[in-house]
Structure 1
Amino acid sequence: MKNSFTVLFLFFIIGNSFAQEDAWIYLTDKPNVLAALANPVSILTQKALDRKQRHSIAIDERDVPVNEVYIATLKTQAGITVLAKSKWFNAIHVRGSEDDINALSNLTFVETIDFANQNFNTASRSASQLNKTEIEDETVAFTYGGTQNQVEMINVDNLHLADFTGEGITIAIMDSGFPNVNTMGAFQRLRDNNDLLNGYDFIDRTSDIYAYTASNHGTKVLSTMAAFVQDQFVGTAPDASYYLFRTEDAGSENPIEESYWVEAAERADSLGVDLINTSLGYTTYDNSNYSHTPGDMNGQTAYISKGASIAAEKGILVVVSAGNAGATDWQTVGAPGDSPDVLSIGAVDGDGNYVAFSSQGGAAQIGYQKPDVVARGGAAYVISEFNSIVQNNGTSFSGPILCGGIASLWQALPNASPTEIKDYVRQSASQFTAPDDFLGYGIPDLDLAKNLALSIDEEQLGNFEIYPNPVKSSLNIVLPATVNHLEISVYNQLGQEILNQVITENSKTIDVSNFTAGLYLIKFSTQNISKILKFIKSFN
């Protein structure tokens, strides 16, 4: 009996010694920081540099890549597997036994070690397991023309009528799989316009982003923004450009997925992406020792939430689905939607009513509102990997529906900062003056958001008028007293620029006599401000 106990005890010790753990290894420094910052094009694309300059975002040490020598050294350490890296955190995600990971502290370039299993760091945390796709997989019978409701609900259809369809805006989608996006008819228009910019699979470390990975979730998410089926389906940003990044392994739940997400966000930043959409949320894991608790959903605890906040600092507008835990014990918005720096999107049904599965604001989110706003996520229209229009439930779809709408809004307000866009969206929402933990600020009206922004521009420009309107031949322009020189562009209903000229105090009239009758947009641009007005060309 004694011998049996000894054998079992030894087995317990050995089993624990060799159990695989996940941890983040934070490094002490980076090489050649000054040289890299002096030559930023060596570490970021020109598009990324242009976006940062446009929004006055400083380039700093966080933009410098991790020391590859340090990574190579970690890979040679006994029992250690390197899984992911982050330049923003100057950290490496590794897997190995507790002893082997702790042994890394002997390396001179290792500053701190943070185990995903909080038993090895701080007090234990536990929570009940949630299946993030359980609700989203419920399919409802197709009803023709359903996309009209989810588009009109946020009033993005009026932006589309004005030819603001997301053109010139780049969106990165982090998800679990994008099968058949490269061949499906619903994305033919996207491919023909060269707006499908490919991407990367951070799990399998391959650029084959369209392979089937046990999940069609990303394909459906992309469809709400980018798909186009004549007379049947139009996404909220059909002319935006898209990078697709696989960061979620649908077969398991492990904190490595948070690290993959941060890696993808860093890649998106370096590519000059404007918006990130993620219909993922992280709360609990297969190994309960790794799990977060609702109290951790404060925007400052989860690795992915801290990464999302850095992405926002870098000038990216991050749009995150709030989660599907509203009717569970968990209940609150998950990570990274808990970050105060991202827009977290809850769900309503086709009538604009709260749906019970939509995650709610929680006690941990002190001093800020979650969710921020809502869109249709109850029986939302999406397109499956089989090119079929179906209906699914989940904030996984309310998030991208609104993200695409924001892309169309941002096209209309090209000089607005990410923070300003977020503010306009919130201010336009149905219960902005009385937010709650179910709908946040409510359902946004994106056409109103555009008008709010333009009204602010109008105050800055002063008295600014065009007349007569409708016009037959000569359109007169009244400049405010503070402006004596600006550029104007006129666009037809197809979004084509048909006139560009400079307006001065001595030349304040444009000839529209040769224009065909119809609606036109005129854009006025100074060095710091742009303004868009409509005018109607009548029959001569």
Structure 2
Amino acid sequence: MKKCFAFFLLFFSAVMFSQEDAWIYFKDKPSAQQFLDNPSQMLSSRALERRTNQSIALDLTDVPIEKNYVDQIKSATGISVLARSKWLNALHIKGTQTNIIALQSLSFVDKIVFANKTLNTTSKKANPNKVLKTVNKLETAIDYSYGNSGNQIQMLNGQVLHQKDYTGSGKIIAVLDAGFPGVNTAQPFANLQANNRILGGYDFVNRNTNFYTGDDHGTLVLSTMGGYKENALVGTAPDASYYLFITEDDTSENPIEESLWVEAAEKADSLGVDIITTSLGYFEFDKAGESHTYSDMNGSTTFISRGAEIAFSRGIIVVASAGNEGRTAEPHVGAPADAISVITVGSVDSSKTKSSFSSIGPSYDNRIKPDVMAQGSGTVVSDELGNIGTSNGTSFSCPVLAGMIACLWQAFPTKTNKEIRQMILESSDRYTTPDNNYGYGIPNFGATLGFENFAIASNFSVFPNPAKTIVSFMIPQSDYDASVVIYSVLGQRIIEKQITNQNPFLSVENLNSGLYFYTFDSESLHKTGKIIKQ
């Protein structure tokens, strides 16, 4: 009997005094007008310029959390404040269930959400599946000495942007990852260091300014964008500038990592970054009851995905790895890849075939995910010692694409983040027939330059349409060579033909009457549309 009683006391003690993670949300921001009247107290001049350029007004979301509220929570019995988010007007706290629930009595508290869903809600870091090895030099016919990294750039037709000197200059990318050792010492990053393109960073996990530490996953990620070693590795955005933020604790999986990510995203926003790239994903956590379920992957449930959506609403493009769970019992994308506006990147191999590990869609609310694909199998990277090798995972297809986005935005500096995102989707090879393995497909960044030549784009014509026998594809350009593909309404590829300005005709005589889709791809223009066969 004594043993049973002792067991009960032990169990009762564990339940009552175990430390829990929770988010505490506040009702308002009493000092909001003071900050809205003085925007420079919230955002840097570059951040304000980004907002102005995209006609995004300041609002309550931009205002910091009320300091008095934070102070009262900090002084509450048994409560530790681990992170904060002005965007969500919330603190990430830790304490016993009893002490946390007691905070609900404070008049300014709106609600409390426990990370442990059994008490009232989230992941597994996308495994980078690192495999470093040497590979044979890839022979290329381009001007840049891409070396082995040529394929991951050419697949996206990114060399067209690079050859026109769009290499990311003037754009700022924030990398949110697990660590960046060697970025200050390894040769492939010397170009970034010598040109002061590492603008700063922070270790949110350990709360210090030493970000050249931690797991080297972030180092590998950065190398796909900013790395430069002639004839071996050229990143997709070698002339962009970077902030490096550690938000992932590589030793464990806990909900605090989502909160640290949002905190870092807010910092990135305040510094005026253009792009956030993150090769982290959350689905499972170490502690029972805290993991997400597929039903949470609706773009509006998890803390991190809500933060990612707000980042996009501030004019930032957010790029996220789809995840490496494609071969598991739960193959769907995690958070923040499920967010509506996030550009979620899956992985293909060098021949454009989906990598078996690449997580799939749809999101729980049945949206297309991933959004696009890039090379994540055999991606060329640099490790912290400067060794050039390959690595596998959507952890690497994501930054490969993020770097190209920086180059594209450099080419179109007046475009909004929404417009750039749409350009990328429309340039992709499955845009008219997306699915939940490839999304909209592989973007063609060279083709996006067709948007720049408005005379060509505005005078593009397909006639006659409706058509009975022959369709002509015409653009006002003296010489062009283009690929035209005709699809059925079910997405089946029916006709594929190369046409030129001398022979711009395509026969549709053998098609049944009805509606069809087409894609037109030349070096200067990418167009999609409909054809009606009479």
Q: Residue 195 of structure 1 aligns with which residue?
A: 197
Determine the C-alpha separation between the residues in 2 that align with 1:84 and 1:394: 29
1:179-214 Cα distance to aligned partner (Å, 9 max, x none): 021122111111111111111111111111112x2x
Taking structure 2 as the reference length, the TM-score comes to 0.82
TM-aligned CA deviation for residue 365 of structure 1: 3.7
Q: Residue 440 of structure 1 aligns with which residue?
A: 439
Residues 468/155 of structure 1: CA separation in 2 closer, same or farther (3 Å cut): closer
Q: Could you tell me whether the CA contact under 8 Å between 1:199 and 1:245 is conserved in 2?
A: yes
TM-aligned CA deviation for residue 455 of structure 1: 3.4
How do residues 514-525 of structure 1 correspond to structure 2 at under 5 angstroms? none
Determine the C-alpha separation between the residues in 2 that align with 1:364 and 1:378: 26
Q: What is the one-letter code of the residue matched to 2:174?
A: A
Q: What is the one-letter code of the residue matched to 1:87?
A: K
Determine the C-alpha separation between the residues in 1 that align with 2:303 and 2:406: 27
Determine the C-alpha separation between the residues in 2 that align with 1:130 and 1:84: 20
Q: Could you tell me whether the CA contact under 8 Å between 1:338 and 1:365 is conserved in 2?
A: no
Q: Residue 137 of structure 1 aligns with which residue?
A: 130
Q: Residue 244 of structure 1 aligns with which residue?
A: 244
Determine the C-alpha separation between the residues in 2 that align with 1:107 and 1:184: 52
TM-aligned CA deviation for residue 131 of structure 1: 6.0
TM-aligned CA deviation for residue 458 of structure 1: 5.9
1:152 to 151, 154, 173: 154
TM-aligned CA deviation for residue 457 of structure 1: 9.2
Determine the C-alpha separation between the residues in 2 that align with 1:154 and 1:9: 62
TM-aligned CA deviation for residue 454 of structure 1: 3.8
How do residues 267-282 of structure 1 correspond to structure 2 at under 5 angstroms? 267-282=267-282
Q: Could you tell me whether the CA contact under 8 Å between 1:140 and 1:379 is conserved in 2?
A: no
Q: Could you tell me whether the CA contact under 8 Å between 2:92 and 2:259 is conserved in 1?
A: yes
1:262-312 Cα distance to aligned partner (Å, 9 max, x none): 001110111111000000000010013000011211101111001100101
- Matched position secondary structure for 1:11: helix
1:216-265 Cα distance to aligned partner (Å, 9 max, x none): 00000000000111222110000001000100001000010000000011
1:486-521 Cα distance to aligned partner (Å, 9 max, x none): xxxxxxxxxxxxxxxxxxxxxxxxxxxxxxxxxxxx
Q: Residue 78 of structure 2 aligns with which residue?
A: 79
Determine the C-alpha separation between the residues in 2 that align with 1:121 and 1:74: 20
TM-aligned CA deviation for residue 69 of structure 1: 2.1
Residues 343/457 of structure 1: CA separation in 2 closer, same or farther (3 Å cut): farther
Q: What is the one-letter code of the residue matched to 2:282?
A: Y
Query: Unaligned stretches of 5+ in structure 1?
Result: 461-465, 470-532, 534-540
Determine the C-alpha separation between the residues in 2 that align with 1:397 and 1:301: 26
Aligned residue pairs total 456
TM-aligned CA deviation for residue 81 of structure 1: 0.9
How do residues 54-453 of structure 1 correspond to structure 2 at under 5 angstroms? 54-121=53-120, 132-133=126-127, 136-144=129-137, 145-211=147-213, 213=214, 215-362=215-362, 364-366=364-366, 368-453=367-452
Residues 420/324 of structure 1: CA separation in 2 closer, same or farther (3 Å cut): same
Q: CA RMSD in A?
A: 2.1
Determine the C-alpha separation between the residues in 1 that align with 2:118 and 2:51: 40
- Matched position secondary structure for 2:295: helix
Q: Could you tell me whether the CA contact under 8 Å between 2:450 and 2:456 is conserved in 1?
A: no
Residues 275/130 of structure 1: CA separation in 2 closer, same or farther (3 Å cut): closer
Determine the C-alpha separation between the residues in 2 that align with 1:248 and 1:260: 8
- Matched position secondary structure for 2:436: coil
Q: What is the one-letter code of the residue matched to 1:201?
A: D
Q: Residue 38 of structure 2 aligns with which residue?
A: 39
Determine the C-alpha separation between the residues in 2 that align with 1:429 and 1:458: 17
Residues 406/284 of structure 1: CA separation in 2 closer, same or farther (3 Å cut): same
Q: Residue 490 of structure 2 aligns with which residue?
A: none
- Matched position secondary structure for 1:139: coil
TM-aligned CA deviation for residue 453 of structure 1: 4.9
Q: Could you tell me whether the CA contact under 8 Å between 1:424 and 1:453 is conserved in 2?
A: no
